[in-house]
Chain A
Amino acid sequence: MFANIDLTFWVGAFLTVAIFSFLYKDNPVYKLAEHLFVGISAAYWMSVGIWTTLVPNLLCRLCPGWVNSLAGSDCLCPPASHVSGYERWIYLVPLVLGILLLMRLSPKGGWIGRWSLAFIVGITAGLNLLRYMQSDFMAQVQATMITLLPGWQGFGHFFGNLSLSLDSPLVATFSAWVVFFGTFCGLVYFFFSKEHKGWFGGASRFGIWVLMVTFGAGFGYTVMARISLLVGRFRYLFGDLIDMMNS
């Protein structure tokens, strides 16, 4: 009956149960699975990094002929990936920065690696500033400039259509108020230059309440997603096993 079952399934099932054993307490079986997982994944990602980043994005741009001669074919650096002219020599910059970073391995030359680190952190932080200013500031201001009385056609229309349907004036107005005052009071909460007392403190407290309600909704949503992952794992353990036994 079990002869139909693939060996890889048994390995996967054993490692799954070994990781689950952590729920009881730390134990040698968990340690074995943990070390296997860490060791294999570290080696795997290093290999992926070399073949999907270092070779195609750097070596194939700088010296495609040399890479292809080592590989014995042009499968690693196809002609379409070649660059010419000054663009080719620009790739010397990441090469030099990478070598400087590797100098950290040298006991005396470790400080040289700080130049690369400063370059990476500085450049990307500057680019992120632009991105955040665009998405978190400009777009947010624009999205929050809404009317507090959407589709207002007078009190008669408002009270004549009282319902909890999504397109009712009551729900639309309530949503607009929550968006506006939630954003405004959330901003007040994250204002650090003033003590949160008086009306400022009240607005700040309302802001944190809005945040907590949002977090609560997010928590429930994500927990349900995690349960679906657990169900998937159980399906792997039992559903696939039964399928293989029946095949």
Chain B
Amino acid sequence: MKRWIMLGVCLLSALPLWAQEPPAADTAAAQVAAAPQAAPATAVTAADAPNDNGHSLVVTFVPSADDREGGPVIGYEVYRSVDGGEWDMRGTVPASGPAGDATLRYRDAGSKDEASQDYFPIGQAYQYRVRTLSVGGFVDSEPSAPMGSTAEWFHFGKLELFLALVIFTGLMIIFIGRAKKGAELYIRPLAGIDAVDEAIGRATEMGRPILYVLGLGVASDIATIAAFTVLQRVAKKVAEYNTKIIVPCYDPIVMSVAQETVKAGFMDAGRPDMYREDDVYFVTQSQFAYVAAVNGTMLRERPATNFYLGLFYAESLILAETGSLAGSIQISGTDQVTQIPFFVVACDYTLIGEELYAASAYLGREPLLMGTLKAQDWAKGAFAVALLIGLVATLAGWSSIAGWFHLDL
């Protein structure tokens, strides 16, 4: 008997749900399923989003009068329409609740890709309305006035970044100019780089080749670019000593650049006839297949010296360990923090992070690279000074100084 009573109660309590019509997004009238009914959001306005590429608008509205701590409001849904046609839900905004915000904000951002389903055309006029969700149902606001987006030329939230770049570029130009005029720019010795000539000489004495691995980076990675510069210097020495250099590449573009670089090195040494394009070759773009091939090369060609300079991932230890077992002198360098430990334990010399960038300037002594390196040092000096100022400021209770370096992205 109790079961039947319970079932009846459940059915009766479900009746209001059955009676409720399915939610229709295109009706502006309030729809309420059960009390208490929440007041709608008001003053819905759309405005162009500042500092953007023109593919977004900002919707602001005054929350429901019932949006308070412990109140019935659950949250808000933001709907968009073109010319009052079909309303599409764009996103949700949580209820203000205890915060008691006077206005709430939603940024409606779409894609700039015309082929995308979420394409947000610049200048397209949109209307918005906000649906207030409460325990009793939902209620829609009045729609906003139509508004179109525009694109800005300058992102003022990134002003600090712009200033930092201008200062850095200015420093670079100044130091490059000084280097070109023949100013003596000091760079402290780097053990790994001092060993390069020694390692090439060893390969020549042993009559074995040199293996130069550029890692898994693409040609635009900073570490790979630095590795190209060192490669040119190594190739020049190799040509002078009449030794063979092998460069297995992971990326076809890297291979193309490496071929040009090695050729330039041989030409610098006045031995373009010695350059063999087949010694700089593409292997595969599968990480561990590449490792398997390079490992095989190490054991078959028995290179006297292995260089691992560039961008490396999980293959770093496998390569360095195999080279170590093969008895090669190994010089490594990468800016991948997670891979440096493996190079440190398995290689004779390791260029840690920025030492790799410095190496290219140190070896080449070209004004362009020397000037850039000096500018980097000045930037590091500015960083250190900023840290010390920040330290004093925070100890004095002025912790908001860190906000100067905050970018409003």
- Give the B-binding residues of A (Cβ under 8 A): 19, 22, 25-26, 30-31, 33-34, 37-38, 40-42, 44-45, 49, 61, 80-84, 87, 101, 104, 113-114, 117, 120-121, 123-125, 128-130, 132-134, 137-142, 144-149, 180, 183-184, 187-188, 190-196, 211-212, 214-216, 218-219, 222, 226
Contacts and interface: CB of A to CB of B under 8 A. Distances in A.
In the A-B complex, the 5 residue pairs with the closest CB atoms: A124-B220, A41-B286, A145-B390, A219-B341, A215-B341
Nearest to B282: A42
B115 A82 contact: yes
B24 interface: no
Given A19-B292, A215-B340, A41 B284 contact: yes
Nearest to B112: A87
Given A194-B188, A196-B188, A133 B164 contact: yes
Interface of B is mostly: helix
Interface string B360-394: 00100000000001100101110110111011011
Contact of B395 (A41, A149, A194): A149
23 contacts: A31-B296, A34-B292, A34-B293, A37-B289, A37-B293, A40-B289, A42-B283, A44-B286, A117-B256, A117-B257, A128-B220, A133-B168, A134-B407, A145-B390, A145-B402, A147-B394, A148-B395, A192-B187, A193-B186, A193-B187, A193-B188, A215-B340, A215-B341
B354 interface: yes
Given A144-B387, A180-B391, A222 B341 contact: yes
A120 B219 contact: yes
Nearest to A208: B352
Contacts of B299: 25-26
A191 B386 contact: no
A196 B355 CA distance: 14
Given A45-B286, A129-B165, A145-B390, A34 B395 contact: no
B212 to A, nearest CB: 18
A137 to B, nearest CB: 7
Interface string B215-243: 00011111001000000000000000000
Given A44-B286, A138-B405, A184-B384, A191 B292 contact: no
A180 to B, nearest CB: 7
A147 B402 CA distance: 11
Nearest to A145: B390
Contact of B293 (A38, A81, A191): A38
Nearest to B221: A128
Given A22-B295, A41-B289, A141-B386, 12 more contacts: A42-B289, A81-B115, A113-B256, A117-B253, A117-B257, A130-B165, A137-B164, A138-B407, A148-B391, A148-B395, A184-B384, A222-B341
